[in-house]
C-alpha cells in the first residue's frame, strides 16, 4: 500500500529544517546501510546521533502525532527516529529492500521495519531526477512530492532513487513498526477507516450503518493487532 500524505510539515517547519540542515555536517550515507543496500547507496546523510538530527527528528515526530492520516495508514507501534539524506548531482540509490530489523539508537530495543517513509524537504522545481521509484503490487510508481509532503510504502518493496541531474534533493526517511505487520491487513483497515470517515460525514454517528462499520473495524483491529 502506497499512501501520499500532504503537508505533514508546515512551510515554516520545512524552512526551519532546511536552515538547520544547511549548517549540518554531511557524511557518507552508507553508514546506516546494510551489506546489500550499502553497495547500491551513493548519497550523503546527517549523522543520526548529531544534535541537528535529534532536533529535527523531534519536529517530525510531533508532526506525525498530529496527522490522522499517518495514524490510520501506518497504525504505528514504534517509529524509528527520523534520519536525513541528501542527493547532489550524480548521486543515486540503486534498487534495494530496506533492512527488516533496526536497533533503536540509545536503547536495547529492536524495531521491525513494516512501513518505510520518505518526507520531502526540497521543492521538486529545485532539482531534476531524484524520483523515488517503488515497485509494489500495483506496479512501478514514481514519486516526487512537494516539500513537506510524505509517502508511505511497505518496507518489503523494492525501491530506488533515480540519479539527480540538477540541483540537490533533501529528505527525511524513517521506518515504522506497525501494530498490524501484514500489509494486506493494513490496507484493508486503512480503506475501511476512510470509508467510515466518509460515511460519518453524511450520516449521524448513531446511525446503524456507522455503528456496524465502526464495530467491524475495531473487531478486525483487535484480531490482527500485535503489541
Provide the annotated binding site for Fe cation: 96, 98, 159
Task: Kindly state the cell numbers that stand for 69.
Answer: 492520516
Known binding-site residue numbers for 2-oxoglutarate: 169
Phi, psi of 64 (to 5 degrees): -65, -35
Q: How far is CA 122 from CA 157, 166, 180, 182, in A?
A: 24, 13, 31, 32
How far is residue 131's CA from residue 39's CA, in Å, rounded to a whole number? Answer: 19
Residues of the binding site: 96, 98, 159, 169
Q: Which helix (H) or strand (E) holds 110?
A: strand 110-112
Residue for cell digits 536495547? Answer: 108
Amino acid at each position: 500500500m502506497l499512501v501520499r500524505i500532504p503537508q505533514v510539515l508546515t512551510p515554516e517547519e520545512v524552512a526551519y529544517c532546511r536552515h538547520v540542515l544547511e549548517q549540518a555536517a554531511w557524511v557518507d550515507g552508507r553508514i546506516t546501510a546494510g551489506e546489500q543496500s550499502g553497495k547500491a547507496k551513493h548519497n550523503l546523510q546527517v549523522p543520526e546521533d548529531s544534535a541537528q538530527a535529534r532536533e529535527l527528528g523531534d519536529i517530525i515526530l510531533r508532526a506525525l502525532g498530529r496527522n490522522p492520516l499517518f495514524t490510520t495508514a501506518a497504525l504505528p507501534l514504534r517509529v524509528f527516529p527520523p534520519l536525513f539524506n541528501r542527493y547532489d548531482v550524480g548521486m543515486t540509490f540503486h534498487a534495494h529492500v530496506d533492512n527488516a530489523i533496526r536497533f533503536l539508537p540509545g536503547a536495547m530495543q529492536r524495531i521491525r521495519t513494516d512501513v518505510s517513509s520518505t518526507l520531502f524537504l526540497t521543492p521538486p522545481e529545485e532539482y531534476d531526477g531524484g524520483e523515488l521509484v517503488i515497485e509494489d503490487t500495483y506496479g512501478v510508481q514514481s514519486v516526487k512530492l512537494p516539500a513537506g509532503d510524505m509517502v508511505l510504502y511497505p518496507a518489503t518493496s523494492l525501491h530506488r532513487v533515480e540519479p539527480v541531474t540538477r540541483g540537490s534533493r533533501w529528505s527525511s526517511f524513517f521506518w515504522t513498526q506497525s501494530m498490524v505487520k501484514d500489509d494486506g491487513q493494513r490496507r484493508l483497515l486503512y480503506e475501511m477507516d476512510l470509508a467510515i470517515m466518509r460515511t460519518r460525514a453524511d450520516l449521524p454517528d448513531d446511525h446503524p450503518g456507522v455503528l456496524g462499520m465502526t464495530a467491524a473495524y475495531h473487531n478486525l483491529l483487535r484480531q490482527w493487532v500485535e503489541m
